[in-house]
Amino acid sequence: MSMKRFLFSGFGGQGILFAGKLLAYKGLMEDKQVSWLPSYGPEMRGGTASCSVIISDEPVGSPIVAEPDILVAMNLPSLDRYESAVQPGGMIFVDSSLVERKVQRDDVQVYYVPATKLAGDNGMPTLANIILMGKILKVLDEYEESSIGAALQKVISARHADMLDTNRKALEIGANA
């Protein structure tokens, strides 16, 4: 059976929960079992935010991801806090425009993406999360599948439909980063 446990973590306002939701919807589109669990608390923009996403062929047991297969760290506190929790052989995706240090571990695959810088350079300053997602999907060899487009349509509300193309472009930038 195949199961991937993701942990997305960063500042509130970076779209951590949104990125996780996009991934969960992609799983749903592919008839996978999925769960999405946010950290919740007295949190605010600029505070910490994280969410657990599990994509599996089997029913998801515990929805809590304490030891992720894949960690997405969008700020330094997130990397500091969760680096040691990643499963050996797992992956860490780092927004290298905001996290200056390197990953210390040598038993995981690490991908540095200057997502926030790329987002700014391309006139989409709020889409660093989606740029990272493009990279993740590319690395996992799941980028080409059409379900990500359908998932985007699900998570982007009708009110923001004009953002669809920009999000697609962000995915592409990430995939090629």
Partner 1 sequence: MADKVLMKGNEALAEAAIKAGCRHYFGYPITPQTEVAAYMAKRMPKIGGTFLQAESEIAAINMVYGVAAAGKRVMTSSSSPGISLKGEGISYLAGSDLPALIVNVQRGGPGLGGIQPSQSDYFQATRGGGHGDYHMIVLAPASVQEMAELTVLGFELADTYRMPAMVLADGTMGQMMEPVSLDFAVSPAPEKPWATTGTKMAREHNIVNSLFLTPEELEQLNFTRYERYQTIEANETRYEEYMTEDADIILAAFGIAARVSRTAVNEARKQGIKVGLIRPITLWPFPYAPFAKAAEHAKAFISVELNMGQMIEDVRLAISCKAPVTLCNRAGGMIPSPGQVLEAIQKADGGVSK
Residues near partner 1, by CB under 8 A: 21, 24-25, 28, 31, 33-38, 40-42, 60-64, 66, 154
For residue 70, what is the enclosing H or E element?
strand 70-73
Report the nearest approach of partner 1 to the CB of residue 177 (Å): 27
Nearer to partner 1, 110 or 148 (CB): 148
Q: What is the smallest separation between the CB atom of 29 and partner 1, expressed in angstroms?
A: 9
Q: What are the backbone dihedrals phi and psi of residue 21, each rounded to the nearest 5 degrees, phi first?
A: -65, -40
Hey, which bits of the chain come out as E strands?
A: 3-11, 33-38, 48-56, 70-73, 91-95, 109-113
Q: What is the CA radius of gyration of the chain?
A: 15
Least CB distance to partner 1 at residue 9 (A) = 16
- Rounded-to-integer distance, Cα 167 and Cα 171, Å: 6
- Nearer to partner 1 by Cβ, of 90 and 114: the residue is 90
Nearer of residues 40 and 159 to partner 1, judged by Cβ: 40
